[in-house]
């Protein structure tokens, strides 16, 4: 029980009149990268947004460590130590890189060591420190979104499709960065890029039509082409 940092138990979420999550049950172990895979529209993003309280679970329970966070306000969930990097990155374009990072720091001040480590992971952040975020490239914006999530030590980081639209060279840099970040925190990663996901994740769950269709070791899924085809079908080929 205590090995799991986050547990979802039969979570149902509606968006407007549509029933999107049909009872998600998910146990995310403490530490490392846990991957949530699935086709477009399967419910991956909805799952992350429901965990963050941005959409409300109609039924079921979400437990983070020993806190039932199902009905908590998004800001209270964040204050428990969960950072969120949305699919659109959530970067404040009219704010500078520094201001974006400052907002993510609880006190509004930076720890020099910590900032040094962020700069070492993403040198572009130091280079564009005083520039408005809208002037960054797509990859740099993603780096800023992730830098913001790690400017303080978090218990857990939820990241939604960080490689979407990025060049292969940047994706390789991301893999290194994520490996380092996962040394100190738990990452719940939503991905469609199977190569990226399988190079990072230890555990994996596959969502299909708002339900968990499979959970297990990433190595097992990576080695089983038939299982990949059954669970992810065309979406896999399209993203490899």
Using CB under 8 A as the criterion, which residues of the chain lie in contact with other proteins when the complex forms?
A: 52, 54, 73-75, 78-79, 83-84, 86, 90, 92-95, 99, 102-104, 106, 108, 148
- Residue 41 C-beta: closest distance to other proteins, Å: 21
Q: Which DSSP helix (H) or strand (E) runs through 55? A: none
Q: Which residues pair with 34 in a beta bridge?
A: 188, 203
Q: Which residues pair with 35 in a beta bridge?
A: 189, 204
Of 60 and 86, the one with the shorter C-beta distance to other proteins is 86
- Residue 216 C-beta: closest distance to other proteins, Å: 30
- Residue 82 C-beta: closest distance to other proteins, Å: 9
Cβ atoms of 221 and 69 closer than 8 Å: no
User: How many Å separate Cα 12 from the centre of its chain?
Assistant: 20
Quote the CA–CA distance of 4 and 27 in Å, as a whole number.
6
3-state secondary structure of 237: helix
Find the largest Cα–Cα distance for the chain: 51
Of 30 and 99, the one with the shorter C-beta distance to other proteins is 99
Of 2 and 18, the one with the shorter C-beta distance to other proteins is 18
- Residue 115 C-beta: closest distance to other proteins, Å: 17
- Residue 213 C-beta: closest distance to other proteins, Å: 28
Of 14 and 208, the one with the shorter C-beta distance to other proteins is 14
Q: 């280079």: which residue's tokens?
A: 127
Of 70 and 228, the one with the shorter C-beta distance to other proteins is 70
Give the β-pairing of 186-191 and 32-38: parallel
Q: 């477009």: which residue's tokens?
A: 40
Quote the CA–CA distance of 221 and 203 in Å, as a whole number.
9
- Residue 51 C-beta: closest distance to other proteins, Å: 11
Of 159 and 218, the one with the shorter C-beta distance to other proteins is 159
DSSP calls for 137-157: -HHHHHHHHHHHHHSS--SEE
Dig out the tokens for 207 from the structure.
Answer: 């969502």
């Amino acid at each position: 029980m205590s090995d799991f940092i986050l547990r979802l138990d039969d979570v149902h979420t509606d968006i407007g009149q549509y029933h999107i999550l049909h009872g998600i049950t998910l146990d995310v172990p403490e530490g490392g990268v846990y991957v949530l895979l699935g086709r477009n529209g399967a419910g991956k993003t909805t799952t992350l947004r429901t965990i963050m309280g941005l959409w409300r679970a109609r039924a079921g329970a979400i437990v983070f460590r020993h806190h039932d966070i199902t009905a908590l306000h998004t800001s209270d969930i964040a204050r428990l130590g969960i950072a969120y990097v949305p699919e659109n990155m959530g970067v404040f374009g009219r704010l500078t890189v520094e201001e974006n990072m400052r907002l993510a720091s609880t006190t509004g001040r930076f720890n020099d060591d910590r900032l040094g480590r962020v700069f070492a992971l993403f040198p572009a952040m130091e280079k564009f420190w005083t520039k408005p975020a809208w002037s960054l490239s797509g990859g740099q914006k993603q780096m800023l979104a992730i830098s913001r999530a790690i400017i303080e030590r978090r218990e857990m980081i939820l990241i939604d499709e960080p490689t979407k639209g990025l060049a292969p060279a940047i994706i390789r840099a991301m893999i290194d960065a994520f490996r380092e970040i996962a040394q100190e925190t738990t990452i719940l990663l939503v991905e469609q890029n199977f190569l990226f996901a399988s190079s990072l994740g230890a555990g994996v769950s596959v969502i299909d039509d708002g339900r968990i269709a499979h959970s297990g070791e990433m190595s097992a899924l990576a080695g089983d082409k038939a299982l990949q085809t059954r669970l992810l079908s065309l979406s896999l080929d399209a993203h490899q």
